Structure 1
Amino acid sequence: MNIAFYGSSLLSSYWNGAATYYRGLLRALAARGYEITFFEPDVYDRQQNRDIDPPDWCEVVVYDGTLAGLAMVAVRAAHFDVVIKASGVGFEDDALMERVFAAARPSALKIYWDVDAPATLAQLRSGPDHPLRRALRTLDLVLTYGGGEPVVKAYRALGASACVPIYNALDATTHHRVAEDPFFAAELAFLGNRLPDRERRVEEFFLRPAGLLPQAAFLIGGAGWSEKPMPDNVRNIGHVSTRDHNAFNSTPKAVLNISRDSMAETGFSPATRVFEAAGAGACIITDAWEGLDLFLRENCEVLVARDGKDVADVLSGLSDERAREIGEAARERVLREHTYELRAAEVDKLLRAQLQRRSIEAAE
């Protein structure tokens, strides 16, 4: 079975947090026998900031970020058994969606894969004429990055015939424990790009505890923070390539996860970096959100903070030994229950069920 996947970027994580999610899932699907072609636009300097070369398990087609470039790759959807359009591609998303699904042959499965469902759903509710809202009834399936039952119910209410969350996970071949690197040494480290719906929470959960613990070393990585005022004990290292994520996660005493506003409000939306950090044996401190216990157990496999003072209190009472114990427990949990091999098995089952449904309907 071959898959056309239209997404933001497989090759670059620059201003593209979904990169490792795509890599983990698609690599695992390729291992199950799927032939995958990933189409990504040349925008936002991503191609100048690649983390990986084109892999041998997936063909990658980079197209010009122009309407002509979009049109050239959209028509290629006609040659695939499964056609997937992801959210947040970054160039003319609505036009790409309409052209891709229009080009898909009638027998192909048509899937919308939403990597930011809370934000997408907010747009759909406020825009009754939104192109995706019109398209939902014609699609076979909506898959989401997370969101649990609230997102499933919302998509079904808007007309989707089926919606299934495929959560982030760990690719143990890529993210694992490595030797500590002094460059990433810190009491607490946070990695995330500066985004409008994350900044307020970064101020509360990262910068506020840094101010409360002036003697502790804090480390922040990610694009966009260079102009942000920060306490003197915060070191800003800018964009961190995925090739350095293991060292970033393996070195500090603790690693902080901060959800974006919409993800925290919806719940059931673990960030990719939660599993990457757990795979490296990091002691994770996370902001609180509903559904966390489906993935990691509080006070055993993860530490939870309700505000910035909580982060400071947790960090002040955290010994090196306790941090190692929590990190190892998290690593064992994700290796057992939250790998991309397991997620790919879910997707494989879904695709085969949809094709079987098609065959039954065609025979009636």
Structure 2
Amino acid sequence: MNRPLDIVVLGLSLSSSWGNGHATTFRALLRGLQAEGHKVLFLERDVPWYAAERDLLDPGFCELSYYHAVDELIAGFRRRLASADAVIIGSYVPQGVAVIDAVAALRPRLLCFYDIDTPVTLAKLDRNDEEYVARRQMPLFDLYFSFSGGQVIDRLETRYGVSQGTALYCSVDAEQYRHTGEDLEWDLGYLGTYSADRQPMLERLLIEPARQLPMMRFVVAGPQYPDHIEWPANVARIEHLPPADHPSFYSRQRFTLNLTRAAMTAAGWSPSVRLFEAAACRTPIISDFWRGLDELFAKDEAIIIARDASEVVEALICLPAEKRQRMADAAYRIVHDRHTGRARARQLVSALVTSRQRADQSAQGISA
């Protein structure tokens, strides 16, 4: 398969980034695939909440088509699904279990799963919650690409029957995410949709520092935050920030805060796309801790790891500008070397080609 690949991706959303991190993850990866010369069709369930908030109508880097039901998906795209070099189904696809069964019945050349929520997926399966993938389906995939790496890959293979698990972290589009040169507006900011399990850390690492540092400016961007949250007067709120505005948002922060959902903290090795976006914009990062973080970004060299408000306050007050810039530059180099959409696309294609070659060699051995 030393040729351009034809790949079909069924994902939660490419057209709308409202309330989900999947869109930016897919956009970086698919732009990378196009840059590498590959062809992609992205199939998205047409649902009203994303239809009303679309911020990418014509991707340019791939085909984008919509469907309304599983039967319509198969009827409209049967030939393309069956002939593609690989079909990749993502996590949180509506009616995901039915979609997986229907696509698997077509016997595509390679059937893959891209789990952008692996720790959440595994926690759901342990509760017998099969919202978008069933436990019985895990062995169906030729490749199971996981948002989480490290020990999570071992768990996928030993406990859940995955034949081949491969870490495929999210990535950043290096052409889209860069420092804009704007003046600083906030001392610390956070970008993320409201999540109940993240909120205690937001209280600890941003809201409490804001209370202690009334002379400094803070900002939280993202939808769905409850009305009952008491924001300090020096915390600005932005309800929704489309990806096109992310570079400007990061560039106007002296530091940005990265927070991790509880299931991903427990699993470890689950970097948020926000980490890579901020680093690409040369914005210094303060983050909560999870296993594997310091393997990606060296502590106190490329990132500040904070466990409580006092450590955030200390960074905001005491860290010299020169040290802050050195950390931002170090994180920038790491991301541009290893975590761009194009780098991730090469990783994906290499895994697909290797899997196909292994399958062909196995088939030849059986026929012989």
Whether the TM-score (by the shorter chain) exceeds 0.5 is yes
The answer (yes or no) to whether the contact 1:201–1:261 under 8 Å persists in 2 is: no
**Counterpart mapping for 1:127-138 below 5 A:** 127=128, 132-138=134-140
Partner of 1:101: 104
Secondary structure at 1:169 match in 2: coil
Deviations along 1:165-221, one digit per CA (max 9) or x if unpaired, are: 111233211111112167xx1110000000233222222222222222222211000
Cα distance between partner residues in 1 of 2:97 and 2:19? 20
Task: Give the counterpart letter for 1:103 in structure 2.
Answer: L
Shift of 1:71: 5.0
Measured in 2, the distance between the counterparts of 1:288 and 1:294 equals 12
Pairing of 1:228-239 with structure 2 (within 5 A):
228-239=229-240
Give, in whole Å, the separation in 2 of the partners of 1:214 and 1:265: 33
**Cα RMSD after superposing both structures:** 2.0
Deviation at 1:70, TM superposition (A): 4.7
**Are the aligned partners of 2:36 and 2:342 in contact in 1 as well (CA < 8 Å)?**
no
- Distance between the aligned counterparts of 1:327 and 1:16, measured in 2? 26
Distance (Å, rounded) in 2 between the aligned partners of 1:8 and 1:358: 29
1:296-307 alignment runs, 5 A limit = 296-307=297-308
Structure 1 residue 69 displacement after superposition: 4.5
Alignment check: 8 A CA contact 2:279 2:285 kept: yes
2:51 is the counterpart of 1:47: yes
CA contact (8 A) 1:300 1:329 kept: yes
Could you say which residue in structure 1 is the equivalent of 2:171? 169
Distance 2:348 2:165 in 1: 12
In the alignment, which residue of structure 2 is the partner of 1:92? 95
2:19 is the counterpart of 1:15: yes
Fraction of identical pairs, as percent:
33
2:114 maps to 1:110: no
Cα contact 1:83–1:101 (8 A) shared by 2 = no
Match of 2:312?
Answer: 311
1:248 aligned residue: 249
Return 5+ residue gaps in structure 2 as ranges.
Answer: none
Contact 1:258 1:287 in 2 (8 A): yes
Using the alignment, how far apart are the partners of 2:37 and 2:345 within structure 1?
Answer: 11
Q: How does 1:310-329 map to 2 (within 5 A)?
A: 310-329=311-330
> Residue 134 and residue 128 in structure 1: after superposition, are their counterparts in 2 closer, same or farther (change >3 A)?
farther
Structure-2 change in CA distance of 1:241 and 1:5 (3 Å): same
Cα shift readout 1:307-332 (whole Å, capped 9, x = no counterpart): 23322222221344432232122212
Aligned-pair CA distance for 1:261: 0.8
Post-superposition Cα deviations, 1:220-255, rounded to whole Å, max 9, x if no partner, equal 001112613211211111110111100111111111
Matches within 5 A, 1:196-207: 196-207=196-207
Aligned to 1:188, the other structure's residue is in SS state strand
* Separation of aligned partners in 1, 2:348 and 2:191: 28
**2:186 and 2:266 mapped to 1: Cα distance?**
29
Count of aligned pairs between the two proteins: 357
Aligned 8 A contact 1:42 1:62 in 2:
yes
SS in 1 for 2:257: strand
Higher relative contact order (CA 8 A, sep 6+): 2
Distance in 2 between residues matched to 1:77 and 1:336, nearest whole Å: 33
2:187 alignment partner in structure 1 = 187
Corresponding residue for residue 5 of structure 1: 9
Name 1:30's counterpart in structure 2: 34
**Structure 1's 133 and 188: CA in aligned 2 closer, same or farther, altered over 3 A?**
same
Is 1:341 equivalent to 2:345 in the alignment?
no
Contact 1:74/1:96 (<8 A) preserved:
no
- The amino acid across from 2:102 in the alignment is R
Cα distance, 1:55 vs structure 2: 2.2
Tell me, in whole angstroms, the C-alpha distance in 1 between the residues paired with 2:110 and 2:214.
55
CA separation of 1:52 and 1:101: change in aligned 2, threshold 3 A:
same
SS of match in other structure, 1:196: coil
